[in-house]
Chains A and B, each alone.
Chain A
Amino acid sequence: MMRIKLIDIAHGRSGDKGDAANIGIIAYDDKGYEIIKKHLTAEKVKKHFAGICKGNVDRYELPNIRALNFMLHNTLGGGGTVSLKHDAQGKTLAAALLRMELEV
């Protein structure tokens, strides 16, 4: 068992789709993709964002670009101009996910 910082093996980008945030996480290499594919589950992402993501988390695989895409539903305080959040569009959530450490 060892702990890996997600930020050391992947980068990403996040944005909004209504009240949902999308977070794409891209591994720097094939080995990194195998790690995130196995360990970066929807459940772990949901737990990481407890208190922020109030809905389900959907997870999609894009092995062609070594990426995972997460949809975090009910996350942006209503989305659009309804949201009172400073980051109403979830622009900084990819960085927030990269704070995670994985036990592998």
Chain B
Amino acid sequence: MKDKIRIASGQGFWGDLPEAPVQQVTNGDVDYLVMDYLAEVTMSILQKQKNKNPNLGYARDLPELMKKILPICLKKNIKVITNGGGVNPADCADEILKHAVDLGIEKLKIAVVLGDDIHDRLDELVEAGAELNNMETGESIKSVKHKILSANVYFGAMPIVEALRNGADIVITGRTTDTGLTLAPMIYEFDWDEKDYDLMAAGTVAGHILECGAQSTGGNFLGDWQSIENMAEIGFPIAEAFPNGEVIITKHENTGGKVSYETVAEQLIYEIGDPTDYITPDCVADFTSIKLEDLGNDKVKVYSVKGKPETEFYKVSCSYEDGYSAVGSLTYSWPQALSKAKAADMILRKRLENLGLQFDEIRTEFIGYNATHESLAKVIDEDDINEIVLRVAVRSHDRDAVKRFGQEIAPLILTGPPSVTGFAGGRPKPSDVVAYWPALIPKKYVTPKVKCLELA
């Protein structure tokens, strides 16, 4: 058994720094590269791509990235774990295998975790007694079932552990929890008992710190952000894990950013609810038990984490179509920039009303004044501010109404208040609104499957 493993985070979301995973495997020694690609909105985008082309539905830049880093990973024996398989992990793995063949690689094992996609099984599952009621509102899924675009169960670490035990060099999953990607190699390497909930919680907390990439190494840091050096070359986090559950969060030497008590603490409280009840498929972690110790030199020790048994449910995330939206903007300059923007908004609303268009919501924001802090924004001098961006967004179940809104923005330039610019890129077009349906499903209804592809 190894006495320590180093797990590197390579992506905090689909669209994160393309160089980050390359840097993580080249700038120093690591044992694992973990990459989180999936946000709720990502699953519906991927499902739409798969509907158009059944061979797609995964993070399309992932096979390209693997082509780039695979030779280094194999040479240095770095295993890659990612949920970038989206709604089609099997084809994603095939594509990576093709690149491996092109590279002349002779020995490679890619494991695919399947079974999380329950879109085609919804009727069967509801009939069998899985209620899938909305866990926030309690509503029955029947009201939206016909509109559902995607439905995926969040698996935890164990299917990945199985893949690693099968000798996988690369593990491609669909909807696996972000935290499971990091916990899995610890269970595998240290032979942890999956019923040892303190250890499960320790690995889960490490996963939470890694899952948003550089948000734990000085990115998006609201403390003394100006003290963060060299953000241009920011190092992504690395979890140095030990068999007793202690973890040191660090980053490669000679990279930018910072790992400190404060940068790690900010990530710990990011997107959590009740801190004593951080629920994953693997355990329930108690974030109030976590101890942090700043060791200096970009090292923070995370220890003393306590956990409780996992629940009997998997979380399910369904997405469904819920109308259309569009956003338009125009920029007004001094003098009276804000007054002009407000007048333009009134003119636009009057025109939409005269047309008799039905919207579920029309929302106006003045960027440069109140778009982020709304009623908390400080009052400004409407006559003297340099410029204001008028941003108007609409949502409707009537696609034509949203389309017509898009045609009413540009005319404001010649038919409204003066010194206005910033209309580029054509008319705002209606885009699909995708809503979420979070639910729980008893674990007995869903079984993860691990499939291996091999070059030998």
A residues with a Cβ closer than 8 A to B are 11-13, 15-18, 22, 24-26, 28, 48-52, 58, 60-67, 69, 71, 77-82, 84-87, 91-92, 94-96, 98-99
Q: Does B361 make an interface contact (CB < 8 A)?
A: yes
Q: Does B348 make an interface contact (CB < 8 A)?
A: no
Interface contact B274-A60, CB-CB below 8 Å: yes
Cβ-neighbour of A26 out of B269, B271, B432, B436 (below 8 A): B269
Q: Which of B345-366 contact A (CB under 8 A)?
A: 361, 363, 365
Known A15-B270, A87-B371: A80·B265 in contact at CB below 8 Å: no
Chain A positions within 8 Å of B122 at CB level: none
Q: Does B272 make an interface contact (CB < 8 A)?
A: yes
Interface contact A62-B288, CB-CB below 8 Å: yes
Please report whether the interface of chain B is mostly helix, strand, loop or mixed according to DSSP.
Answer: mixed
Query: Would you give 13 A-B contacts (Cβ < 8 Å), ordered by A?
Result: A12-B222, A12-B269, A24-B268, A25-B269, A26-B265, A60-B276, A62-B268, A62-B275, A64-B291, A65-B292, A80-B435, A84-B361, A96-B376
Given contacts A16-B271, A22-B271, 20 further A-B contacts (CB under 8 A): A11-B224, A11-B262, A13-B269, A18-B438, A22-B273, A50-B375, A58-B273, A62-B268, A63-B288, A66-B265, A69-B269, A77-B361, A79-B436, A81-B432, A82-B395, A82-B433, A86-B365, A86-B372, A86-B391, A95-B222
Chain B positions within 8 Å of A52 at CB level: 374-376
Known A18-B136, A81-B433: A65·B373 in contact at CB below 8 Å: no
A33, B432: Cα distance in complex, Å: 44
Known A18-B436, A60-B274: A13·B371 in contact at CB below 8 Å: no
Interface contact B40-A80, CB-CB below 8 Å: yes
Cβ-neighbour of B270 out of A11, A13, A18, A50 (below 8 A): A13
Chain A positions within 8 Å of B22 at CB level: none
Chain B positions within 8 Å of A17 at CB level: 271, 273
Kindly supply a per-residue 1/0 record for chain B positions 272-291, scoring 1 wherever the CB is within 8 Å of any chain A CB and 0 otherwise: 11111000000000011111
Interface contact A71-B266, CB-CB below 8 Å: no
Kindly supply a per-residue 1/0 record for chain B positions 319-343, scoring 1 wherever the CB is within 8 Å of any chain A CB and 0 otherwise: 0001001010000000000000000
Shortest C-beta distance, A7 to chain B (Å), equals 9
Known A13-B222, A86-B371: A81·B41 in contact at CB below 8 Å: yes
Q: Which 5 A-B pairs have the closest CB atoms?
A: A24-B269, A84-B393, A11-B223, A92-B372, A84-B363
Q: Does B82 make an interface contact (CB < 8 A)?
A: no
Q: Does B446 make an interface contact (CB < 8 A)?
A: no
Chain A positions within 8 Å of B273 at CB level: 17, 22, 58, 60, 69, 71
A18, B439: Cα distance in complex, Å: 12
A77, B374: Cα distance in complex, Å: 13
Cβ-neighbour of A15 out of B223, B271, B374, B393 (below 8 A): B271
